[in-house]
Chain A
Amino acid sequence: MNNFQYSRATDVADAIRLLAADPGAKLIAGGTNLIDLMKENVERPSRLIDISRLPLRDIEETADGGLRIGALVPNSDLAYHPLVEQRYPLLAAAILAGASAQLRNMASVGGNLMQRTRCAYFYDTATPCNKREPGSGCSAIDGLNRNHAILGTSASCIATNPSDMSVALVALGALVHIAGPSGQRTIALTDFHRLPEDKPHVDTNLGTGEIIAAVELPKHGFARNYSYLKIRDRLSYAFALVSVAAALELDGNAISEARLALGGVAHKPWRSLEAEAALRGRAATSDHFSRAADLLLHGATARAHNRFKIELARRAIARTLIQAASATPQSQAHKKIA
């Protein structure tokens, strides 16, 4: 690790002040991703600002029936929270599909949103990577890119966002509450993560000196017809090749509301309003699911080694929608795919 200084923030305002005072500073909560990257010398913060003791650990119902989740709630606490299990089981499933029990005990909600790509070139300081070292080039585009993005890529970067939790949150229409030097603001999670474009070193739209305070879920939790399906190279403790979050509101066999998001395929959790609109008002049939998959994957492009992801995603989307429609969500422990 580099020779960083350590400060413990006393409150959110203090954290914001400390961030403002040191442009090279980074916030640390669970540390599961940041410490890893610091050990690789990929992240070299001048200062770590420990926010793990700030009072951002509550899960509260909001006035309009939603849920406000403090940024420091550990992933496992969120997944196992009774209100999340009952009202937002899609979120619980996505969290439990990720990492390990130990890491979920450590990782915070805010940190999960901030986690960086698992691209091997990003991790290896001996190879060029525009995300790690802007302007050095992308090694993945013509290199080993089996795990890389098929949607929203740029000529500078084809990395993916590795989060499972974010995929469910995006599907559920989550909001992010942000505190910063100029006060508070709230944005949709879909607007939180960026596409790489020509600035792949910038993962999110979090501004300088800003801190995630909470994530808010709207009332509608899709507790009956949902599923999170994660496809990976071993049956647990691996990052997604493709993951799908699907949530439906059914009126008989007719879809009145649909949410659909993909993980492992883009620089951000991938959601398509067109695909969801194409399901709304339609019968829950495989034809319509396939059509939604086509729309969600519209514009997908493959590199030398990740072409399979397009077809895998297409099939996984259809399958996850069937699981959601039939109220047989994918179990994260029992590995047979329903």
Chain B
Amino acid sequence: MKAYVGTPTSRVDGRAKVTGAAKYAGEFPADGLLHGFVVESTIPRGRIARLDASDALQVKGVVDVLTHAHRPPLADNDDAWKDEVAPEKGSPFRPLYDDRIRFNGQPIALVVADDWETAKFAATRVRVEYDREAFATDLESEHGKAGKVDRPHKPRGDAAAALAGAAVRHQADYVLPTEHHNPMELYATTVVRDGSGRLTVHDKTQGVQNVHKYLCGVFNKRPDDLRVVSPYVGGAFGSGLRPQYQVVLAVLAALELKRSVRVVLTRQQMYGLGYRPMTIERVALGAKPDGTLDAVTHEATAVTSRYEDFSRNDTGWAEQLYKSPNSLFSHKLVDLDVSTPCDMRAPGAASGVCALECAMDELAVALKLDPIELRLKCYSDRDQSEDLPYTSKQLRECYARGAEAFGWSRRNPAPRSMRNGKELVGWGMATGVWEALQMPVAVRIVLTSNGHAEVSCAASDIGTGTYTIVAQVAADALGLPIENIDVKLADSTLPQAPVEGGSWMAASAAHAVLGAAEDIRQELARLAKAIPASPLGGVDAPDVILVDGAIAKAGDKARAVSIADAMRHGKLERIEKQKLNHFAEDRSHARNTHSAVFAEVKVDEELGVIRVTRVVSAVAAGRILNTKTGRSQIMGGVVWGIGMALHEETVMDHRFGRIMNANIAEYHIPVNADVHDIDVIFVDEPDDRINQLGVKGIGEIGIVGVPAAIANAVYHATGKRIRRFPITLDKLLD
């Protein structure tokens, strides 16, 4: 029997997704279902002076209009509103809590009606008057007010002095705009209320237990009063880590009206949720003429809301990548009248490493060094911030394999030196880095005597492939065909899991499966050996394996007992085991994933039109559980990187404090025509220290480095260094 782990196994949820059978949060039916439509603020700051719902209530089919002045009770303390990934500092946003307007697009009323169209129509009949207040939404004009240093990495040496004395210096500001996740699925919640008043909350979220705990706090409910489920999530990319306001509104309405309620946000309203904050990244590098670094400084100034401090590690990545005796990092925040930013695919790294890797490219030009050579000159085998070695780090191999696949040796280093007719050809590269985190996850396995197993866990699959890798690991560990494994996820009543994010779920869930399967194996071994004249008599438990639906002696599969026989003799119909994963406490090593990204762009010399014709991403991320879905993950990250480099920018008119491209026609994400050849290489990276399987997780690493590789390729093509993203063609026309 072949192993599933490490193979290109097709998604186990594939059939449901290609037939339309997979149901997402806004698609669950309920008797007497009501539909809520959100009315949102059209100013960024002030107070609601008057909210008149009388016209809306006249509309036939409208059941109620909930507002801050007309709603059931909500918790009055921040602790209740803080979900498991809320920023430490600040007061989380409370929808329909009071008359204060904190950002444009804030929900201020929920119109509830018999059907969605009626609610949407009636929402236009709600009249609102505001007491407006002065506001600020522009990071660049408010830059001087940056404050609140948010625990960056600690400094080493004297970076300022080392920079001043460096033979070669490069310093520049890189500006990364606000970006929105724009998952394809609209944010939605369907609350189904049963006869006893118990609520089943179908929510679009990356963490059902996070939402469950939050709702219990916000509505002062006992855990058994409600259940949160989310079997399919139509993309989230970080936007669903924190509970979003539509879940509060839907539960609010269900409680007030004692009915089942669905609330679906519009695409435009989703621009009032979280986002990747605009950040100004200042990077300074000082080097010796041979390319070794004397100093690295990285200062980031980013947007946050006035009510919460959100920040991520933008600045510390050089500590992982590039050896330098001196370093200094700072992270500042500017409070603006906007909603709180949130995690978005590779938060911190996508922007911070973009700036760092563009700066490294500029330094390589200044030093007249090949960009890979520069990176190898300062290659760090240790995480300098903690002075730790890595559990594994095959980044050198990434550079080598990626360069070879890309044909890097044929690159003429001079800008504007490569062309193809009217197009300038540019080849650029960059490094990617992310964390390899592991979190507590529990899994329950129920094995039935017919050789089928149900594997369940509260973790979500947001498109990342969790269903599939859990099934693969379970099939291998239980010695069953994958068709016999039934995976149940994303139900708050299932064994514990944190939010699905940070690339930690694959390793975390896989090892929980292994743990539970090991308990099953021990139980089966005991049962098999207890059979009279058992073929496994005298075999030590550790030598018993599960293979081909049987319990067998390792190395001698002829000595075997079928699962059915063992359980029949043991008079068991089912064996149920639940296990929390366990990772050895090990603070002696750093854990990271790495990549080397190579990009080819072709730029029309006169018109500035940029085409990304090839990307090679060589990734070192430990053992890849599924090479098919894994490749897709990296490919998706590359597409995100293309968007970040060339397309994506949330544009705000600061006179109104309003986002003016709150849609997906004018907020450009890559379309099919923007994406060409993407070559994903998984570099072999054995790692027996990080965990039993040597798994690291790959949800974020795919995007990191891609924007910089493309920006560096654009420079190589055109000789123009664009430091304000996205690189739109107008920036190349001068």
Contacts and interface: CB of A to CB of B under 8 A. Distances in A.
Nearest to A309: B730
Given A143-B653, A234-B668, A337-B604, 14 more contacts: A2-B121, A126-B658, A127-B653, A144-B660, A231-B607, A234-B673, A235-B674, A236-B671, A237-B673, A239-B665, A311-B733, A312-B730, A315-B606, A336-B421
A308 B733 contact: yes
Interface in B690-734: 728-730, 733
Given A1-B117, A1-B120, A234 B647 contact: yes
Interface in B661-677: 661, 665-666, 668, 670-674
Nearest to A322: B422
A273 to B, nearest CB: 26
A146 interface: yes
B655 A234 contact: no
B323 interface: no
Contact of B423 (A3, A235, A336): A336
A316 interface: yes
B656 interface: yes
B417 interface: no
Nearest to A315: B606
Contacts of A308: 730, 733
Interface in A205-260: 231, 233-239, 241
B660 A233 contact: no
Contact of A120 (B604, B608, B661, B671): B661
Contacts of A231: 607, 609, 729
Nearest to B123: A41
B579 interface: no
Contacts of A335: 609, 611, 673
Interface in A301-328: 308, 311-312, 315-316, 319
Given A2-B124, A233-B668, A124 B658 contact: yes
Ranked nearest first, the 7 interchain pairs of A and B with the lowest CB-CB distance are A236-B673, A126-B42, A308-B730, A120-B660, A235-B673, A315-B606, A237-B671
Interface of B: 42, 117, 120-121, 124, 421-423, 602, 604, 606-609, 611, 646-647, 651, 653, 655-656, 658, 660-661, 665-666, 668, 670-674, 728-730, 733
Nearest to B649: A233
Contact of B606 (A121, A236, A239, A319): A319
B604 to A, nearest CB: 5
| Residue in B422, B609, B661 whose Cβ sees the most chain A Cβ within 10 Å | B609
A126 B104 CA distance: 10
Nearest to A143: B653
Contacts of B423: 336-337
Contacts of A311: 733
A139 B652 CA distance: 13
A235 B607 contact: no
A44 B523 CA distance: 69
Interface string A1-43: 1110000000000000000000000000000000000000100
30 contacts: A1-B120, A120-B661, A124-B658, A124-B660, A126-B42, A127-B653, A127-B656, A127-B658, A142-B655, A143-B660, A231-B607, A231-B609, A231-B729, A233-B647, A233-B668, A234-B646, A234-B673, A235-B609, A235-B611, A235-B671, A241-B729, A241-B730, A315-B606, A335-B609, A335-B673, A336-B611, A337-B422, A337-B604, A337-B607, A337-B609
A118 interface: yes
Contacts of B604: 337
A336 B419 CA distance: 13
Contact of A312 (B117, B121, B611, B729): B729
A118 B655 contact: no
A123 B402 CA distance: 46
| Residue in A41, A121, A235, A312 whose Cβ sees the most chain B Cβ within 10 Å | A235
Interface string A98-141: 00000000000000000000101100101100000000000100
A279 to B, nearest CB: 20
A227 B729 CA distance: 21
A332 B660 CA distance: 29
Interface string A276-314: 000000000000000000000000000000001001100
B603 to A, nearest CB: 10
Contacts of A143: 653, 655, 660
A25 B422 CA distance: 51
Contacts of A336: 421, 423, 602, 611
A3 B729 contact: no
A312 B120 CA distance: 42
Contacts of B602: 336
B42 A315 contact: no
A179 B121 CA distance: 34
Contacts of B608: 312
Given A3-B121, A126-B656, A143-B653, A312 B607 contact: yes
Nearest to B606: A315
B728 A312 contact: no
A236 B673 CA distance: 6
Contacts of A146: 730
Contacts of A236: 671-674
Nearest to B268: A40
A308 B673 CA distance: 24
A311 B674 CA distance: 24
B668 A238 contact: yes
Contacts of B606: 315, 319
B727 to A, nearest CB: 11
A144 B117 CA distance: 32
Contacts of B666: 118, 120
Nearest to B611: A335
A192 to B, nearest CB: 25
Contacts of A238: 665, 668
A213 to B, nearest CB: 30
Contacts of B421: 336
A121 B653 CA distance: 10
Contacts of B671: 234-237
Nearest to A40: B268
Contacts of A124: 658, 660
A312 B602 CA distance: 18
A164 to B, nearest CB: 15
A144 B651 contact: yes
A146 B651 CA distance: 11
A41 B733 CA distance: 37
A143 B117 CA distance: 33
A139 B658 CA distance: 12
Nearest to B266: A39
Contacts of A126: 42, 656, 658
Contacts of B651: 144
| Residue in A121, A142, A144, A316 whose Cβ sees the most chain B Cβ within 10 Å | A144
B728 A233 contact: yes
Nearest to B730: A308
Contacts of A127: 653, 656, 658
Nearest to B673: A236
Contacts of A139: 653, 655-656
Nearest to A316: B607
A177 to B, nearest CB: 31
A300 to B, nearest CB: 15
A315 B608 CA distance: 10
A301 B674 CA distance: 31
A312 B658 CA distance: 29
Contacts of B653: 127, 139, 143-144
Contacts of A235: 609, 611, 671, 673-674
Contacts of B673: 234-237, 335
A311 B730 CA distance: 9
Contacts of B728: 233
A1 B121 contact: yes
Contacts of B117: 1
Contacts of A1: 117, 120-121
A143 B581 CA distance: 55
A118 B661 CA distance: 11
